[in-house]
Structure formats: structure tokens, C-alpha cells
A and B are shown apart, each in its own frame.
Chain A
Amino acid sequence: TQLLEQSPQFLSIQEGENLTVYCNSSSVFSSLQWYRQEPGEGPVLLVTVVTGGEVKKLKRLTFQFGDARKDSSLHITAAQPGDTGLYLCAGARGQGLAFGKGNQVVVIP
């Protein structure tokens, strides 16, 4: 059973369009993290959200943590080809992290 469910698993959009991907769980997390992973590389941390209802912005990326701290979303405005990658959400589990399967985003020039 996957602790964190990410949807959609795959998304292909044209450059300049907006997109939103989701990370959902039935469990409450003290915090959630979003990472981007390129093929053959380790994940790179984008943001950590801690407070329910929190919204964080990182340039064209907007991250939101659900009020109940069970879900999160990532919105990309005016997507660029450089935004292509696998976006992973992760929540603390023990000392380590539990990851979702990821949202594979492809931005077509």
C-alpha cells in the first residue's frame, strides 16, 4: 500500500501552459517535502511545507499544504522545458522519508 498517492502519474503539456499535480494521503504528516528527480540522478529538494494551509512559492512553482496536513499540490505557471522531470512528494516516516511514486512532467517546447 502506497502511503502517498501522486496524481497524475504522467502529464505532458506545451510550453507556457499551467499545470497542477497532487500528493494525497490518508495519514497526517508533520511536514511534506517536494523533490524533483532527473533520470539517473538523486532527488533534489524543492520545498518543505510544515503548516496546514501553508502556501510557498519558488519562482513559477507554488506549493500548497492541505489544511488537514494530509495532502499537497504543486502548481507550475507558464511551464518551461526546464521544468521537465519527476516530481516526488515525501513525508517523514520514522527517521527517514516515505515517497510517492511521483508525477512525471514533460514540457514540450
Chain B
Amino acid sequence: GAVVSQHPSRVICKSGTSVKIECRSLDFQATTMFWYRQFPKQSLMLMATSNEGSKATYEQGVEKDKFLINHASLTLSTLTVTSAHPEDSSFYICSARGQGVDYGYTFGSGTRLTVV
């Protein structure tokens, strides 16, 4: 089945630094990738949608200059949290979808970001 690898699984960074999270589709080409954020005891909230080779589409309220998304290839998307603050601490999850109507959404295992 379709597999999405997300790395790192956990990261701790200092306030003001930037952190990059990678999301790879291992056995299929992901034409569209999604980034979600999940706070404790909350639902997954869609942050942005990225299509390979084009700019990401951000949901309302998500700062595009703070959460930089790059989808340079059909198997890799990255999310960079710039100038991280403690309130950015959360669980970030990527999802990928391949071509064709039969391709569902496959999720990565998530990244726990802690900003200290």
C-alpha cells in the first residue's frame, strides 16, 4: 500500500530558530500534499495544500511567511517553521495523495515540535 514517511518524528528547537520537516511518498507519486497541525485533544486542522511545482495554498489564518512549504518533486514536500515561537509547538502531520480517483489520502506518522 501507499506509504508516506515523515521526518523527524520529534524535534526540539529554541525560540527564533527555524525547523524543517520532510514528507516523502515512498511508493507513489504524490501530486498533492497536505500539511495539518494538531494541538492536544484537538482535531487535525488543515494548514496548507501544495501541488507539485506550484505555490502552496494556505488556509485562512495560516501565515505563509512563517510556514514555508516547498513541493519541488512528486515525492517530497517540506514544511519549514521559521522564527519558531513556543506557541508553534504542536503535532504536525503531512498527507499525500496520488493521481487518479482511487488514490486516497495517506498520512505520515507526524512530527512533534517543541519550541523552548
Flag whether B44 is at the interface (Cβ < 8 A).
Answer: yes
Q: Kindly identify, within residues 62 to 99 of chain B, every residue whose CB is under 8 Å from any CB belonging to chain A.
A: 91, 93, 95, 97
How big is chain A's contact interface, by range? 20 to 34
Given contacts A33-B104, A48-B104, A93-B46, contact A40 B110 (CB under 8 A): yes
Q: Is the CB of A40 within 8 A of B112?
A: yes
- Cβ contact within 8 Å between A94 and B49: yes
Size of B's binding interface in residues, CB under 8 A:
25
For B42, the chain A residues whose CB sits under 8 A away are 101
Tally of A-B Cβ pairs under 8 angstroms? 55
Q: Complex: how many Å from CA A93 to CA B34? A: 12
Whether the Cβ atoms of A42 and B108 lie closer than 8 Å is yes
What residue in chain A is nearest B93 (Cβ atoms)? A42
0/1 interface trace, chain B 13-44, chain A, CB 8 Å (1 if under): 00000000000000000001010100001111
The secondary-structure label for the interface of chain A is strand
Q: Is B109 an interface residue (CB 8 A)?
A: yes
Question: Can you list the 5 inter-chain pairs with the closest CB atoms, starting with the nearest?
Answer: A42-B107, A101-B43, A99-B43, A99-B44, A96-B46
Contacts from B to A (Cβ < 8 Å): 4, 6, 9, 32, 34, 36, 41-46, 49, 91, 93, 95, 97, 104-110, 112
8 pairs of residues in contact across A and B, judged by CB atoms under 8 Å: A40-B110, A42-B4, A42-B93, A42-B109, A97-B44, A98-B46, A99-B36, A99-B44
Given contacts A40-B110, A43-B107, A97-B44, 19 further A-B contacts (CB under 8 A): A2-B43, A33-B105, A40-B9, A40-B112, A41-B110, A42-B4, A43-B44, A44-B107, A90-B44, A95-B34, A95-B97, A96-B34, A96-B95, A97-B95, A97-B105, A99-B43, A101-B41, A101-B42, A101-B43
